[in-house]
Amino acid sequence: MPKLQMIETITSQLRQDILNGSFKQYNILPTRRALADQFHTTPDTIAKVLKNLEVEGLVSKGKGRAMRAISPRERVTANDETFRDYMKALGHQVTVEHLATPGVIAATPSLAKIFRVPVGTQLIERARREIVDGIVYRYSRKRYLASLVPEDVLEKIRGDYTFNVRAIIEDKAPLARIQELLLARAVIDKEEANIFQSVLGIPVFEQWKINYDQNKSVTFVSLVVFNAPYFVKTYDYEPGKEPKLSGFLPDDNEFIKTTSDFH
């Protein structure tokens, strides 16, 4: 059988096995040598097969050269407040890392536009990623109005990767409305691929949120990028506490298309 046809045939078989649930989400696939023996081919051919499946989001690199199968039917909620506890309850190890030290920045023209504040207004910037059993599930970049984040809270953010800033902000400026936009795409930037510890082309979805208080002021803006095969988007606010959700305005969509401040 020609090599390209062999690669496609094995890719198709392993893809079907994963989709049928033959591998559980956190199970490690057989080694390249074992798969090569199983399909009567070479480890080099299996390496190309695994690369295809990784781009499709059906396998992910674990520790060393190990590959883990991802079952798209075993996804978890994307809600910030429940994610870590949910994964820990399932017995998984969850690690949160800063991508940069949280600190004060001056609003650029594009950030000033989205916050509806003068250029140069002080904002707090926070960027993190969350890793489950060695797999990067998601990363986030969030900006908050510095006037809502006291210095002692900023120090807590720097020292505690999981500190809940939103609760502090909402105590001062209760949430009244959220504008949200979800975009499905693939990773095409090497820096972002490095954040995910993966390859170019993996499927992700990004979630933009602009949060407003009762005075219609923007209190914080967030971008969260999810490793798409692991998530399904849900809303699990407590009954009666759901914020008013609305889509982005045309100007906001244009902001997202043109600014690189959040990525």
What are the tens digits of pLDDT across the range 97-108?
A: 999 999 999 999
pLDDT at residue 249 greater than cutoff 60: no
- Which CATH code of 3.40.1410.10, 3.40.50.11540, 3.40.50.1980, 3.30.70.360 fits the domain covering 76-258? 3.40.1410.10
Q: How confident is the model at residue 206 (pLDDT cuts 50, 70, 90)?
A: confident
Q: How far apart are CA 151 and CA 159, in angstroms?
A: 13
pLDDT at residue 66 greater than cutoff 90: no
pLDDT for the residue 155: 93
The more confident residue out of 86 and 249 is 86
Please answer whether residues 98 and 161 qualify as being in contact, where contact means their C-beta atoms are separated by less than 8 angstroms. Answer: yes
- For the chain, the average pLDDT equals 80
The more confident residue out of 163 and 230 is 163
pLDDT at residue 250 greater than cutoff 50: no
What residue ranges of the chain are covered by domains with CATH 3.40.1410.10?
76-258
CA 258 to chain centre: 20
Q: How confident is the model at residue 259 (pLDDT cuts 50, 70, 90)?
A: very low
Please name the residues in contact with 20: beta carbons below 8 A apart, sequence gap of 6 or more: none
Q: How confident is the model at residue 4 (pLDDT cuts 50, 70, 90)?
A: confident
Please answer whether residues 237 and 243 qualify as being in contact, where contact means their C-beta atoms are separated by less than 8 angstroms. Answer: yes
What residue ranges of the chain are covered by domains with CATH 1.10.10.10?
3-69
225 to 66, 98, 158: CA distances (angstroms): 24, 15, 21
CA 194 to chain centre: 13
In degrees, to the nearest 5, what angle opens at C-alpha 99 toward C-alphas 95 and 105?
135
Predicted TM-score (pTM) of this structure: 0.63
What percent of the chain shows pLDDT beyond 70? Answer: 79
Burial of 151 from C-beta contacts in 10 A (0-12 / 13-18 / 19+) = exposed
pLDDT for the residue 242: 46
What are the tens digits of pLDDT across the range 19-37?
A: 776 775 446 788 899 999 9
96 to 20, 129, 239: CA distances (angstroms): 31, 6, 29
Which whole number is the average pLDDT over 122-138?
91
pLDDT at residue 233 greater than cutoff 70: no
Q: How far apart are CA 220 and CA 124, in angstroms?
A: 9
Q: What 3-state DSSP class applies to 254?
A: helix
* Whether CATH 2.60.320.10 fits 3-69: no
